[in-house]
Amino acid sequence: MSDVVLQVRNLQVNYATPRGPVKAVNDVSFDLRKGEILGLVGESGSGKTTMGMALVGLIRSPGRVVGGEILLNGRNLAGLSEDAYKKVRLAEIALIPQGAMNSLNPVTRIREQILDGLRDHGVILTRAEAEQHLQSLLERVGLRGEVANMYAHELSGGMKQRVAMAIAISMKPKIIIADEPTSALDVVVQKRVIETLQDVQAELGASIILVGHDMGLMAQTVDRLGVMYAGRLAEIGDIGKTLVDPKHPYTRLLIESLPSATEKKPLRGIPGLAPQLLNLPSGCAFHPRCPHAFERCTLETPHLIEAAPHRWAACHLLEVSN
Amino acid sequence: MTPLLEFRNVSKIFGGGLFDKKRTIALENFSMSLHEDPPLITAVVGESGSGKTTLARLLLGLETPTQGEVLYRGRNIHTMNGSERRQFLHDVQFVFQDPYGVYNPFYKVDHVLTKPIAKFKLASSRQEARKLIENVLETVGLRAEETLGRYPHQMSGGQRQRVMVARALLLKPKLIIADEPVSMVDASLRATILGNLQELNEKFGISIIYITHDLATGFQISHNMIVLYHGAVSEAGAVARVVKAPQHPYTQLLMNSIPLAVPERMWHRDTTTSSPTKPAADFQGCKFADRCPQVMDVCRTQQPPLYQTEEHRVVSCYLYQGNAPTLDSAGLEKVFITQPGG
C-alpha cells in the first residue's frame, strides 16, 4: 500500500529490572497512513509513551527494543545504530516530547535551540537564511518573531509547547509524534495548540501520532484511534466508529468513564486497578477488570482480529459473537 | 444564620504599590458565602491566572487578603485564637492537585492517616485507630490490606489521591476544599475519585468547594458554579444553567473549548481563542474585553456589574445591561440553589 508511511510490526520493548524484564510494549503492530492523525490512548503504564520513544529511537537503557520492525518507507529503523538514527530523527520522524515545556534549555535563547537541531543535521545556512527560516517556523506555530530572542522562562506554557513544535517541524519531517502535547495546558490554550498542530500538518502533509489519555481530545482531533492496555494494542480503528461502537470492553469502559458536559449521569470509573507490568495477569491482561471475562480470557492472550472493516480489536468475545 | 464560610469583599494583590507595573490582582472584591445546611458542592472554575488557586490559598490561611476578610463560622480565619484555629483545621480539609508531591517518600502511606488521628486524638487505642482507617479507606473504595504498609511510590496516582480523600474524611470535616483533585490522575480513574467526593457530600453531609479548570467535571458533581476570569466573577449560579446555557462570552469560550468525546466534530475555529493576556493593574474595564468577540466601547472603560439574568444566575457582562437587575457583588449566594435537587 502506497499510502502507508510507517509500518510497525510486532514491536517489543522491554525494560530490564532486577525482577525480570518488563514488557512495556508487547507485540504491537499498526500502520500509519500518509496525512492522518493517529491517536494512541491508554492509562499510565500502558506503554504509549514508550511506544512513541521507540519510534524515534530514543529508548535508553535499561530499556531496549528487543523485537519487531519499524518500517519507514520500507526501511527498518529498529536495528539502526544511534549514529544512523540521528540522521532520521528530526529530518524524517520528529518527537514533541511529553512535558515539552520542560524540555527546553533554560539558559539558551530559543533561536539557538531551534538552530541547534539543524546544525546537528549538517544543514548549513547563512545568517540571513537562518533568520528567515526561524521567522517562518515561529510564524507557522503562531508565535511572534521576537520569541527567538527570548529564554524559556519568559514564555507561557502554551508558547513553550509551540516552540517545541517549531523545533519538531524545523526539518519538515513526514512523521510527527506528539506525546501529550497539551496535558498541562488550559482548555482554551489546548484547543489552540491542537489547531496549530493541525495547520502544520496540513502544510507539511505530515502524519501525526498523538499520544494521550484524553478521549475527548482524541474524539475532536484524530482520524483513527489505537487503545493500548498493558503494553498491547487492545483496539485500533476509525475514531467515529470506535466512539459509537467500541469493540473492546476496555475501550467501552474508557468511553463510559468520561464525565460529560452535556448530561448528568452517575460517575463510573473502570473497576479494579491498572495491572503491574512485572506481574501481568494470565491470558488477556484486562480480564480481572473485564465485566465480560470468561474462562478462555484467563488462559489465552487474544490477538488483534478484524472486528469490522478496517477495525481491529484483541478480544475473545469477538470470536464468540462471530 | 452564620454561614459556614464567607468571603467578604476579599481582594488579593501581589506585587508592589499602586503604580507598580508588576502588580497583579489575583482576586478582586470577591464575596461569597456557603451555608452548612444543606451541604452542597460549589465549583470554582477558571484557567491559570483566574485566581482560583489564590482563593484556595486564602482559605488555607497561606495568604492573607490585601482587603476584606475570610470568615469561618463568623470568625476571621487570620485572627482566630488557638482553639478556634484548631477547630478550623479540623473542620476544613484539603485535597491537593498533586498526589505525588504531598507524600513524604520516606514514610509509608499509613503516616498521613495515623498523624491526624494522633493530632486530633480521634482514637483511644490502636485497634480503634485501625478501625477508623479501615472504614475511611473502604469508603473511597480501597482495601486496607492492599493499601497500608506500602510506600507512596508503590501506589498509582489514583490510589494516592484516594488516600488523600480518605484522610480528609477521617476528620469528619464540615468542608473539603479540593483543588484540581483529578487533573493529574488518569482519565479512567477520574470518575472514581469524583464519585468519592460526591459520596462524601451526599452520605456524610460535607460541603465541598471544587476548584477546577474543567467545566465538564464541575458540571457532573457540583450544584453551583462560579466562573472566575483574572480574579473577577464572570458568571455564577446553578450549575445546570451556567454549563448548559452559558451567557458570558468567556464561559461560552470555555464550553466551546472542551473536547467532547462524541463522534461529531464540535471544535470550530473561532477568533476568541487568542491567548489570555494579563490586563494592566490599573485597567478599569471588563478583564475579558481584549478577547471578547462581542466587545463594546463601554467594556473597556468600566468593569461590568453582576446582572441577575435569571433566578439562579448572575453574569458580569454589559450584553445583559437593561434586561436584568444588577446584583451587589456580596449577593452572589442569592442566586445559588440551596437544595441539592433544586
Residues of chain B with pLDDT under 70: 16-21, 270-278, 281, 342
**Nearest-angstrom CA–CA distance, A254 and A239:** 14
Set of chain B residues whose Cβ sits within 8 Å of the Cβ of A243: 261-263
Q: Which of B159, B189, B276 sits opposite A269 (nearest CB)?
A: B189
Residue A238, min C-alpha distance to chain B (Å) = 10
β strands within A192-245, DSSP E = 207-212, 224-229, 232-238
Which pLDDT belongs to residue B99? 82
Q: What pLDDT, on the 0 to 100 scale, is given for residue B17? A: 64
**What is the structure's pLDDT at B18?**
61
Query: pLDDT at position A223, please?
Result: 95
Write the pLDDT tens digit of every residue in A219-232: 999 999 999 999 99
Residue of B nearest to A216 (CA): B261
Residue range A90-102: mean pLDDT, rounded: 86
| Residue A54: per-residue pLDDT | 95
- B-chain CB neighbours of A270 within 8 Å are 188-189, 192
Q: For residue A140, what pLDDT band results from cuts at 50, 70 and 90?
A: confident
Chain A contact present for B257, CB below 8 A:
yes
CA–CA dist A272, B188 (Å, integer): 11
Which set of grid coordinates corresponds to residue B269? 475555529
The residues pairing with B314 across neighbouring beta strands, listed in sequence order, are B236, B308
* Residue type present at position A8: V
For all residues of chain A together, what is the average pLDDT?
A: 90
Residue A134 near chain B (CB below 8 Å): no
- Tell me the C-alpha distance between B310 and B334, whole Å: 11
What is the pLDDT at residue B37? Answer: 86
> Shortest Cα distance from B235 to chain A (angstroms)?
17
Q: Which chain A residues contact residue B199 at CB under 8 A?
A: none
Distance from CA of B114 to the nearest CA of A (A): 25
Assess A260–B contact: CB distance below 8 Å, yes or no.
Answer: yes
Hey, are the CB atoms on A186 and B159 less than 8 Å from each other?
Answer: no
CA B61 to chain centre: 15
Range of the domain at A168: 4-321
Predicted confidence (pLDDT) per residue in A230-253, tens digit: 999 999 999 999 999 999 999 999
Task: Find the mean pLDDT for residues A147-176.
Answer: 91
Segment 193-232 of chain B within 8 Å of chain A by CB: 193-195, 198, 213-217, 219-221
Copy the grid coordinates of residue A303. Answer: 490477538
| 58-87 of A, contacting B, C-beta below 8 A | none
Which positions in chain A touch B191 (Cβ < 8 Å)?
257-259, 267-269
CA B309, CA B7: separation in Å to the nearest integer?
23
Question: Looking at chain A from residue 189 to 218, which residues have their Cβ under 8 Å from any Cβ of chain B?
Answer: 189-192, 194-195, 213-218
Contact between A259 and B217 using a beta-carbon 8 Å cutoff: yes
* pLDDT mean over A80-84: 91
Classified as helix, coil or strand, B118 is helix
Distance from CA of B65 to the nearest CA of A (A): 26
Element (H, E) at A177: strand A175-179
Domain count of the fold of chain A: 1
B173 bridge partner residues: none
Q: Which three cell numbers stand for residue B76?
A: 476571621
pLDDT at A2 over 60: no
Closest CA to A212 of A25, A41, A24, A30: A41
The pLDDT tens digits of the residues spanning A50-81 come to 999 999 999 998 999 999 999 998 899 998 99
Option in B191, B262, B265 nearest A269 (CB):
B191
Calculate Rg over the CA atoms of chain B. Answer: 21
pLDDT tens figures, A182-195: 877 788 888 888 99
Closest-CA residue of A relative to B261 is A216
Other C-beta atoms within 10 Å of B277: how many? 12
Q: Do A188 and B254 touch (CB under 8 A)?
A: yes
Q: What CATH number does residue A281 fall under? A: 3.40.50.300
Residue A291 is predicted with a pLDDT of 93
Q: How many CB pairs under 8 A join A and B?
A: 139
Q: Per-residue pLDDT for A27 more than 90? A: yes
Res. A258: pLDDT tops 50: yes
Structure confidence at residue B68 (pLDDT)? 94
A191 to B267: CB separation less than 8 angstroms, yes or no: yes
Work out the number of other CB atoms within 10 angstroms of the CB of residue B284.
10
Range 281-340 of B in CB contact (< 8 A) with A: none
B123 to chain A, closest Cα gap in Å: 31
* Mean pLDDT, residues A312-321 taken together: 89
Q: Which of A49, A215, A258 to mutate to test the interface with B (most CBs of B within 10 A)?
A: A258
* Whether the Cβ atoms of residue B77 and residue B243 lie closer than 8 Å to each other: no
Residues in B touching A274 (Cβ below 8 Å): 156, 186
What phi, psi does A203 have (nearest 5°)?
A: -70, -40
Contacts of A316 (CB under 8 A, 6+ apart): A284, A294, A296, A297, A300, A302
Query: Collapsing DSSP states into helix, strand and coil, what is residue B117?
Result: helix
- pTM across the whole model: 0.86
